[in-house]
Amino acid sequence: MPYLVFDLEMSGPDPGYHEIIQIGAVLLSDNWVELGTFISNVCPEDEEAFTQAAVKIHGLTWDELQEAPLIYEVIESFETWIRKLLKRREGDLRDVITCGQSVIYDINFLKFAYRNENMEWPFSNTLIDLHTIAFFAFRVLEANGKPTPRSHSLKSLAEWFGFKRDAGTHNALEDAELTMLCLKEFFQLATRLKIQS
């Protein structure tokens, strides 16, 4: 089961109205060995739905994105990139597990884009969510007297493990890479946690 850790930047918070404007991802093998990375901006089509609040988060302006490929082209490139790294020419990608920070939010946006382009969702319905893992792991650590961060944001989780963003704005690939590093740290932490019977 390969793992696809991905992150999206959007023009606003509502799938179906707002659009994906950047996709970043890291593909990993069954053993969490990194196979490669992907980043692409996406040209938005609805200027009315392009919010300035979102621009403050990701720093990508409407004008900057006008030369980017359209969403259907990016989705095709994204799947081609995955197939190339997995050495698969055809067939579904139902064994590829999607991972991310509050990943259901990104999945909903990406699934809407697939539906809107009349494309079939190719990935597994199994997902790994960093936010949920952190919520549970920190409860265990707190019960054992260990300090934990107050927030479960990606920034807080990354800093707790000693990682941080290079820039002040969000970048989908950088956030996907930070998510991957945090997930790896939690998986290693799980091997060290002992339950007394």
CATH number of 113's domain: 3.30.420.10
Contact, 6 vs 105, CB < 8 A? no
Number of folded domains that form the chain: 1
77 domain residue, yes or no: yes
Q: What percent of the chain has pLDDT over 70?
A: 96
Q: Is the pLDDT of residue 173 over 80?
A: yes
* Residue at 27 is within a domain: yes
- Spell out the residues 6+ positions from residue 25 whose beta carbon is closer than 8 angstroms to its own: 4, 5, 6, 7, 37, 38, 39, 78, 172, 173, 176
pTM of the predicted structure, to 2 decimals:
0.91
What is the maximum alpha-carbon separation in the chain? 60
Q: Dump the DSSP string for 6-44.
A: EEEEESSS-BTTB-EEEEEEEEE-TT--EEEEEEEE---
Check residue 89 and give its pLDDT.
81
Q: What is residue 197's predicted lDDT score, i.e. its pLDDT?
A: 57
Beta bridge partners of 25: 6, 38
The whole-number pLDDT of residue 69 equals 97
CA distance 17 to 69: 19
Confidence band of 56 (pLDDT split at 50, 70, 90): confident
Domain assignment of residue 197, yes or no: no
How much is the pLDDT for 78?
97
Q: Tell me, what's the pLDDT at 11? A: 92
Q: Let me know if residue 64 belongs to a domain.
A: yes
Q: In terms of residue numbers, what domain contains 76?
A: 3-192
Answer yes or no: is 173 within a domain.
Answer: yes
User: Is 109 part of any domain?
Assistant: yes
